[in-house]
C-alpha cells in the first residue's frame, strides 16, 4: 500500500521562481466528484493525469489531512486522453514547478484556466512529524481545507470562488 504524507500551503509571492529547476505541464480530471466523496458513496478519488509525456491513473483515499493512501499506475497517454473525456466536472490544468528547499523537493502548482490565480506549494514528507524548513513564500497552510484539493477545484474552480471562500 502506498502512503502519501503531504503538507500544502498557499504561495504568497514569486520568490520560488528563481529556485525552480523544472516545470511540468499537467492536465487532470476525476472519474468521481467531490459530492460522491462528501456523501460517503466513494471512499477514494480516482484521477487521470497527463504530465508531460507520461500519464497516470491515481487512486487516493478520502481522509482529510496530511496522510492518505495513494496508488499510482502508469497508463498510455492515448488512453489517458480517452479517460479524461469520461471525467466529471472540469479539467484541472496547471504547471508544476519543482523547487529544492531545505533538503526537500517542493512542488509549486501554478493553476491555469478556470483555476487561474491560484498557486499552491506542496511538500511530501517521510513521516507526519518530520520537521522541515518552510520557505518564506509558503504562506497559510491549507492541508486540511478540502476546497484546495484538486478534486474540489475540478467541480468548483477558483475563479468561481466568492470573496469569503478566498479569504
Tens of pLDDT along 88-129?
Answer: 999 999 999 999 999 999 999 999 999 999 999 999 999 989
Distance CA 93, CA 117 (A): 12
Report pLDDT for 2: 81
Q: Which three cell numbers stand for residue 100?
A: 529544492
Question: Does the structure show a pLDDT above 90 at 62?
Answer: no
More confident residue, 64 or 71: 71
> Is 30 part of the annotated catalytic residue set?
yes
- What value does the mean pLDDT take over residues 79-90? 95
- What value does the mean pLDDT take over residues 121-142? 96
List 30, 56, 148, 149, catalytic entry: 30
- Let me know: does 107 contact 96? Beta carbons within 8 Å: yes
- Listed range (43-57, 60-74, 144-158) with the worst mean pLDDT: 60-74
Pick the closest to residue 8 from 102, 138, 166 (CA basis): 138
Question: Does the structure show a pLDDT above 90 at 55?
Answer: yes
Average pLDDT, the chain: 94
- What value does the mean pLDDT take over residues 64-77? 91
Question: Does the structure show a pLDDT above 80 at 65?
Answer: no
Q: Which three cell numbers stand for residue 86?
A: 469520461
Amino acid at each position: 500500500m502506498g502512503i502519501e504524507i503531504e503538507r500544502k500551503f498557499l504561495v504568497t509571492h514569486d520568490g520560488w521562481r528563481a529556485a525552480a529547476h523544472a516545470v511540468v505541464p499537467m492536465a487532470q480530471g476525476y472519474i468521481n466528484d467531490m459530492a460522491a466523496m462528501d456523501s460517503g458513496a466513494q471512499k477514494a478519488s480516482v484521477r487521470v493525469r497527463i504530465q508531460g509525456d507520461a500519464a497516470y491513473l491515481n487512486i487516493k483515499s478520502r481522509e482529510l489531512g496530511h496522510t492518505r493512501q495513494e496508488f499510482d499506475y502508469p497508463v498510455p497517454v492515448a488512453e489517458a486522453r480517452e479517460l479524461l473525456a469520461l471525467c466529471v466536472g472540469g479539467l484541472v490544468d496547471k504547471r508544476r514547478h519543482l523547487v529544492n528547499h531545505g533538503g526537500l523537493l517542493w512542488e509549486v502548482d501554478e493553476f491555469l484556466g478556470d483555476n487561474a490565480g491560484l498557486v499552491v506549494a506542496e511538500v511530501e514528507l517521510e513521516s507526519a512529524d518530520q520537521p522541515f524548513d518552510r520557505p518564506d513564500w509558503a504562506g497559510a497552510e491549507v492541508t486540511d481545507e478540502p476546497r484546495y484539493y484538486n478534486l474540489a477545484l475540478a467541480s468548483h474552480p477558483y475563479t468561481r470562488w466568492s470573496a469569503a471562500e478566498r479569504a
